[in-house]
């Protein structure tokens, strides 16, 4: 009897270790999301549907059409998001990656705000509302006031933070004082903000004169975030602010007493209270800071990228920020990577639209990725990774 040593049995094989770690799950989540999306591209493609009608007569037509549809779509996605190798100049080619970073900037800042809530055990679904009030306040300071250059910009950013913080703080206050569920209050505050913005854009203070669409005047040059790489690229100082915000999240959550309290409440509110941490105050402060960060995201978006306020200013950033924070596991580095990835999908989606694939496919890919990553057992089962981690039937096990 050649019984394996205890050590031998407990050390997993290399395959099992790979199967158990998180990286393959993330990779497979993307693979599945892109595979499912490929099926959607096929269903929607006219050529493919045409050739499917005579599939058995000439199957090669069907497979060629399918291959062409998928390759052209994903090729466009890559060119639009990272590097357009078909562009005439290298500036144009690299412009796509820079554009991706520009789009990622407000998204990442908002996602950092979301992460504060998630780490403290609060589900802040109010990204949209906090973004809207943040951008509205920043834009108003930007076009409504006349201040000296640097001060104007700082004032506009501060207004965005304050407004976002206020909006998050309302939910935090209702939670702390009346124990109102933050998921519900933040969703309600989103819609209140949407309507508030719609109303603001009808008022004389916000509505730009002589335009048909609801739009505010342009932010004054003194309040705009300066461009970093010259005028041909849209990347602006907001990118640096984003990096600083990520640094702030790291410091807050990993180095400060306040962050420790937040995490303690997030892990176990009862234990935290017994240890002398006020749960109510903590939830209020969490929502205040989370809202402030998201509001900063809105301010950066309006002062750096959009330059004026319109009724679709928040776009889908509010909800995308939630998925980015989840995908980035609420850590600063993870969020930056996830944010750039999601922004790349959106900028690439614009190119994909040129190939006849609606940009909404991007939302499908993003949602699928997050769903799969949230359920690792599902991904393992679908991809057969669980077979790697299944304990080997050794001779000893057979005997026993």
Partner 1 sequence: MNSTAVSRAPITTGDSEVRLTEAKGRLPGWWKMPAALTFFALVSLLVFGIGGVRGQDSHFTIAHDSMFTSMGIPTEITVPSVPTAIVLSMVLLALAGFAWFMQATNRTWPRFAKPALQVGFGVLFAVAFLVWTVAAQSLNIEFLLKATLGLAVPLVFGALSGVLSERAGVINIAIEGQLLFGAFGAAVVGSMTGSPWIGMLAAPLVALVMGALLALFAVGYHVQQIIVGVVLNVLAVGLTSFFYGAVLKPQAERYNVPLRLPELRIPVLADIPLIGPMLFSQNILVYLMWVIVAVCTVALFRTRWGLRVRSVGEHPQAADTVGINVARTRWSNVLLGSAIAGLGGATLTVGTNVAFTQEISAGKGYIALAAMILGRYHPVGAAMAALFFAFATALQQNLGILSSSPLPAGVEKFTVPSEFLNMLPYIVTLLAVAGFVGRVRVPAADGKPYIK
Tokens of 195: 């309507």
Q: Which is nearer to partner 1, 307 or 380 (CB)?
A: 380
Q: Which is nearer to partner 1, 18 or 375 (CB)?
A: 375
Q: Which is nearer to partner 1, 40 or 82 (CB)?
A: 40
Do residues 130 and 138 make contact, with C-beta atoms less than 8 angstroms apart?
no
Q: Which is nearer to partner 1, 278 or 305 (CB)?
A: 278
Q: Minimal distance in Å, beta carbon 60 to partner 1? A: 24
Q: Minimal distance in Å, beta carbon 38 to partner 1? A: 13
Q: Is 180 exposed, middle or buried (0-12, 13-18, 19+ CB in 10 A)?
A: middle
Q: Which is nearer to partner 1, 125 or 155 (CB)?
A: 125
Q: How far is it, in rounded angstroms, from Cα 400 to Cα 395?
A: 9
Q: Which is nearer to partner 1, 145 or 180 (CB)?
A: 180
> Helix, strand, or coil here: 227?
strand
Q: Minimal distance in Å, beta carbon 70 to partner 1? A: 14
Residue entry with tokens 């019984």: 3
Q: How far is it, in rounded angstroms, from Cα 6 to Cα 158?
A: 61
Q: Minimal distance in Å, beta carbon 87 to partner 1? A: 26
Residues that bind partner 1 (CB under 8 A): 40, 43-46, 121-123, 125, 174-175, 177-181, 183-185, 187-192, 194-196, 198-199, 202, 265-266, 269-270, 273, 279, 283, 316, 319-320, 322-323, 326, 356-364, 366-368, 370-371, 374-375, 377-378
Q: Which is nearer to partner 1, 62 or 284 (CB)?
A: 284
Alpha carbon separation from 351 to 76, 345, 357, 359, 370 (Å, rounded)? 5, 10, 9, 9, 23
For residue 196, what are the contacts with CB-CB under 8 A and spacing of at least 6?
Answer: 132, 133, 136
Q: Minimal distance in Å, beta carbon 327 to partner 1? A: 10
Q: Minimal distance in Å, beta carbon 367 to partner 1? A: 4
- Torsion of Cα atoms, 193 then 199 then 202 then 208, to 10°: -10
Q: If we measure between CA atoms, which residue out of 254, 302, 261, 265 comes closest to residue 110?
A: 302
Q: Minimal distance in Å, beta carbon 102 to partner 1? A: 22
């Amino acid at each position: 009897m050649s019984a394996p040593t205890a050590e031998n049995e407990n050390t997993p094989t290399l395959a099992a270790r790979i199967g158990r770690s998180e990286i393959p799950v993330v990779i497979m989540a993307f693979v599945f999301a892109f595979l499912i999306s490929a099926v959607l591209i096929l269903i929607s493609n006219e050529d493919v549907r045409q050739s499917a009608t005579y599939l058995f007569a000439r199957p090669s037509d069907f497979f060629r059409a399918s291959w062409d549809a998928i390759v052209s779509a994903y090729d466009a996605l890559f060119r639009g998001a990272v590097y357009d190798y078909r562009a005439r100049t290298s500036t144009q080619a690299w412009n796509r990656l820079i554009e991706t970073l520009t789009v990622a900037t407000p998204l990442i800042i908002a996602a950092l705000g979301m992460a504060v809530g998630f780490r403290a055990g609060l589900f802040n679904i109010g990204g949209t509302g906090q973004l809207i009030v943040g951008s509205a306040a920043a834009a108003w300071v930007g076009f409504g006031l006349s201040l000296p250059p640097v001060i104007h910009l700082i004032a506009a950013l501060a207004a965005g933070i304050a407004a976002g913080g206020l909006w998050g703080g309302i939910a935090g206050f209702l939670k702390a004082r009346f124990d109102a569920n933050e998921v519900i209050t933040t969703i309600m505050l989103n819609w209140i903000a949407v309507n508030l913005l719609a109303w603001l854009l009808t008022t004389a203070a916000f509505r730009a004169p002589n335009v048909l669409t609801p739009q505010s005047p342009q932010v004054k040059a003194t309040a705009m975030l300066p461009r970093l790489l010259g005028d041909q690229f849209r990347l602006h100082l907001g990118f640096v602010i984003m990096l600083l915000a990520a640094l702030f999240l790291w410091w807050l959550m990993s180095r400060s007493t306040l962050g420790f309290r937040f995490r303690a409440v997030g892990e176990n509110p009862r234990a935290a209270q017994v240890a002398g941490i006020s749960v109510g105050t903590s939830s209020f402060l969490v929502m205040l800071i989370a809202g402030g960060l998201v509001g900063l995201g809105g301010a950066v978006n309006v002062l750096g990228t959009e330059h004026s306020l319109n009724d679709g200013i928040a776009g889908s950033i509010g909800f995308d920020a939630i998925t980015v924070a989840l995908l980035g596991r609420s850590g600063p580095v993870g969020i930056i990577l996830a944010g750039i990835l999601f922004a790349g999908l959106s900028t690439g989606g614009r190119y994909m639209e040129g190939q006849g694939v609606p940009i909404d496919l991007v939302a499908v890919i993003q949602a699928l990725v997050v769903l799969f990553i949230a359920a690792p057992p599902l991904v393992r089962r679908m991809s057969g990774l669980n077979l790697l981690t299944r304990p080997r039937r050794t001779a000893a096990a057979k005997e026993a």
